[in-house]
Amino acid sequence: MKLTDTAAVVTGGASGIGAGIARALAERGCSIMLADIDTCAAEEVAASLRERGAVAKVMACDVSDYASVEALADAAWSAFGSVQMIFNNAGVMSSAPVIDADPREVHWIIDTNLKGVWNGCSVFGKRFRAQRLPACIAITASEHSLGVPHLGGGIYTASKHAVLGMADVMRQELPDFITVSLTFPGMVRTRIYEATRSSPIGPAPENVRAFGERAMAYGMDPLEVGQRAVQGVEEGEFMVMTHPHVRVIAEKRWQAVDAAFARAPEIDNPEQYEVEAVMARLVAENK
Ligand SMILES: NC(=O)c1ccc[n+]([C@@H]2O[C@H](COP(=O)([O-])OP(=O)(O)OC[C@H]3O[C@@H](n4cnc5c(N)ncnc54)[C@H](O)[C@@H]3O)[C@@H](O)[C@H]2O)c1
CA separation, residue 170 to residues 126, 134, 167, 200, 240 (Å): 12, 16, 5, 30, 17
The yes-or-no verdict on residue 97 having pLDDT over 90 is yes
Which residue's CA is the closest to the ligand 1 atom numbered 32? 62
- Residue percentage of the chain with pLDDT more than 70: 100
Average pLDDT over residues 73-94: 98
Buried b (16+ CB within 10 A) or exposed e, 147-186: bebeeebbbbbbbbbbbbebbeebeeebeeebbbbbbbbb
Q: Which of 154, 182, 178 is nearest to 168 (CA)?
A: 182
- The Cα 97–Cα 252 span in angstroms is 21
pLDDT at 139: 99
Average pLDDT over residues 12-30: 98
Average pLDDT over residues 170-177: 98
Q: How remote is the CA of residue 240 from the centroid of ligand 1, in Å?
A: 17
| SS3 category, 198 | helix
Q: Are 246 and 146 in contact (CB under 8 A)?
A: yes
* DSSP H/E element including 108: helix 103-110
Which residue's CA is the closest to the ligand 1 atom numbered 2? 188
Which residue of 11, 15, 121, 148 sits with most ligand 1 atoms within 8 Å of its CB, as the best mutation to test the pocket? 15
Dihedral, 24, 25, 27, 31 alpha carbons, nearest 10: -150
Ligand 1 pocket: which residues have CB below 6 Å? 11-12, 14-18, 36-38, 41, 61-64, 89-92, 112, 116, 140, 142, 185, 187-188, 190-192, 195, 198, 219, 222
pLDDT at 180: 98
CA separation, residue 40 to residues 46, 68, 108, 219, 238 (Å): 10, 18, 22, 25, 33
- The Cα 273–Cα 287 span in angstroms is 22
| Four-way CATH pick for 7-245: 3.40.30.10, 3.40.50.720, 3.40.50.10210, 1.20.1250.20 | 3.40.50.720
R_g of the chain computed on alpha carbons: 20
pLDDT at 16: 98
Q: How remote is the CA of residue 259 from the centroid of ligand 1, in Å?
A: 35
Q: Are 102 and 154 in contact (CB under 8 A)?
A: no
Q: How remote is the CA of residue 1 from the centroid of ligand 1, in Å?
A: 25
Q: Are 90 and 36 in contact (CB under 8 A)?
A: yes
| Distant-in-sequence, close-in-space partners of 115: CB < 8 Å, separation ≥ 6 | 64
| 148 — pLDDT class (breaks 50, 70, 90) | very high
Average pLDDT over residues 81-107: 96
| 60 — pLDDT class (breaks 50, 70, 90) | very high
- The Cα 240–Cα 181 span in angstroms is 7
pLDDT at 81: 98
| SS3 category, 7 | strand
Q: How remote is the CA of residue 232 from the centroid of ligand 1, in Å?
A: 19
Q: Are 18 and 217 in contact (CB under 8 A)?
A: no
The yes-or-no verdict on residue 138 having pLDDT over 90 is yes
**92 residue type, one letter:** V
Which residue's CA is the closest to the ligand 1 atom numbered 42? 91
pLDDT at 95: 87
Average pLDDT over residues 220-248: 98
Average pLDDT over residues 223-243: 98
| 40 — pLDDT class (breaks 50, 70, 90) | very high
pLDDT at 280: 93
Which residue's CA is the closest to the ligand 1 atom numbered 8? 142
Which residue's CA is the closest to the ligand 1 atom numbered 24? 12
Closest atom of ligand 1 to CA, residue 64: 31
Average pLDDT over residues 234-257: 98
Q: Are 220 and 241 in contact (CB under 8 A)?
A: no
**227 residue type, one letter:** Q
pLDDT at 287: 84
Closest atom of ligand 1 to CA, residue 113: 41
Average pLDDT over residues 251-279: 95
Closest atom of ligand 1 to CA, residue 62: 32
